[in-house]
Amino acid sequence: MTTNKLLGLLSAAVMFAAAQSAQAQAPIPAAKVTGGEVQGVVNGNVAAYKGIPFAAPPVGELRWKAPQPVKAWSGVKKVDAFAPGCMQDARLATMMGGPQNFSEDCLYLNVWTGAKSKTEKLPVMVWIYGGGFALGATSPPLYDGTKLAQKGVVMVSIAYRVGPFGFLAHPELSRESGKGSGVYGLQDMIAALRWVKENVAQFGGDTSRVTIFGESAGGIAVSMLAASPAAKGLFHRAISESGGSFAPVRTGNEVGQMVPALKLAEGAGKTFLEGLGAKDLNAARSLTAEQIQKAAGGDLGRFWPVADGNVLPGDQYEVYQAGRFNDTPVLIGTNSDEGALFVRTAVTPAAFEQQIRAGYGPHADAILKAYPHATDKEALKATKDMFRESAFSWPTWAWARLQSQKGKGKAYVYYFDRRTPATLEGANHGEEMSFVFGNASPFSGAPQPGDEDLAGLMQNYWVNFAKSGDPNGPGLPAWPVFTEAEQKTMFFDKSSSARTIPNLDKLKAHDGYYTWRREEARQKSKATN
């Protein structure tokens, strides 16, 4: 994407934000929530409450601890502006036109509702932002919940700690908690979902119809919550856009495996704090947030949710196979050219083949066969598609299969394939979000004919799913249930309809690789026990 194009998209996002804030705002009666009373504002037919605290500020002695109960306040708290985002590098906020305002004191959520009374019992949708578990906030204009609220849901967006503040593991931290470490960001999400369960009825929400939904790292988090005993009973449906976490736990440098084992993550955390000159936890907690963030940088893979054995019990694939997961209907999918955002340089056939042989062991030949790479152009596409499969579409496919085999909740799978003159090879990572929210986005490029209809279609499916666990409804193309025998996918493009998975040969090649890695992990576990 050129600088001029990016500036143009950012300008559109900023103009959208300005238009939103310029609408007539009026105060509304206060709502009583955990901690005290809050008063939002109303824009047209939607009331918005921005910056409601759901936990105590995780600062000082509470840094690297599970979120603690919110501190009560007196009087009525005005909640008409987003709270600061959690500590991070500013680049994603810059790209998305959101405020570059970050703090450790960041555990706040936002509510949009069109309910006329507390008794309406509207379905609830809880948004979890992406950003590689290192970036992300609730404040970008893209995530404004007004349009979804206008379609009959209570929309909630929640903040969670990212980077080293959310996912640092350390031997001392594990001993201190007695339950491992490195999952504070996930614990923030769980605390926010508890808040929703206890308080969303005040905004006309139905506590028995809570849908969690997220994109990228947010979608991965949705799958983690689906596998977490700590999240049991806190949601009733799950939507993941380009997410999922079903690879084996990483114990070394295995390719395509992001969730580190506790011991591995503890070692990395110890090295990180030693690099900051912190000889113990007291010294580490006395460092400024800015010192820690500067040392962490913005690396999207450096800090990741840890298989702590408690919040994340281990390999999610095996958790599902054993039937120990939070069984709900799921609506999950990926975009056709996800890798384009991450693969930006030229690739030769030799370089592609070397990369695959270095990482995929005895399954390299099967992978290479599935990805034509005889020319530089083919090698570049193969590299992008490899990223799509390993990071997003294989975990989604594995999730759909496991849910259909082991769960009672139905699985619905989609494939977002909007193409434009600027994206001839398919839809980029994150592009579907503007269609789900109905807001301008730096990911989606210039508006195209048919975009408004596609956005309306997707929003109706998402809202229907939140209402009943089934996206189908009057006037919509039939979206079949995904099963092992009938693996149909809803394509979102110029003629949206259910079709066969387009990259099934590639998915099967990856499945063979991960099956091998999982068996390898079992053998190692037997040898050490």
**Which of 139, 216, 223, 242 is flagged as catalytic?**
216
Round to whole Å and give the CA distance between 112 and 354.
50
Q: What is the 3-state secondary structure (H, E, C) of 221-259?
A: HHHHHHHCHHHCCCCCEEEEECCCCCCCCECCCCCCCCC
Using alpha carbons, list the distances in angstroms from residue 364 to 339, 360, 510, 515, 516: 20, 5, 10, 14, 12
Residue with tokens 């006037």: 475
In 371-470, the DSSP E strands lie at 411-416
Q: Which two tokens stand for residue 403?
A: 């849910």
Whether 368 and 350 have beta carbons less than 8 Å apart is answered as no
Q: Which two tokens stand for residue 342?
A: 């991450």
Round to whole Å and give the CA distance between 402 and 311.
20
| 373 catalytically annotated | no
**Which of 170, 236, 429, 510 is flagged as catalytic?**
429
Beta bridge partners of 482: 411
Whether 221 and 184 have beta carbons less than 8 Å apart is answered as no
**Which of 215, 241, 266, 338 is flagged as catalytic?**
338
Whether 215 and 243 have beta carbons less than 8 Å apart is answered as yes
Helix locations, 101-183, DSSP H = 146-150, 163-167, 171-177
Round to whole Å and give the CA distance between 357 and 350.
11
| 496 catalytically annotated | no
Compute the chain's Rg from CA coordinates: 22
DSSP state of 469: S
Strands 122-128 and 154-158, how do they pair? Answer: parallel
Neighbours of 289 (CB within 10 A): 17
Give 187-200 as a DSSP string: HHHHHHHHHHHHHG
Beta bridge partners of 1: none
Q: Which two tokens stand for residue 258?
A: 């992001």
Round to whole Å and give the CA distance between 109 and 107.
7
Round to whole Å and give the CA distance between 468 and 476.
15
Secondary structure of residue 181 in the 3-state scheme: coil
Q: Is the dihedral of CA 482, 483, 488, 489 positive or negative?
A: positive
Neighbours of 251 (CB within 10 A): 16
Select from 239, 153, 225, 144 the least CA-distant residue to 189.
Answer: 225
Secondary structure of residue 112 in the 3-state scheme: strand
| 429 catalytically annotated | yes
Backbone angles phi, psi at 154, to 5 degrees: -90, 120
Round to whole Å and give the CA distance between 44 and 8.
28
Known catalytic residues are: 216, 338, 429
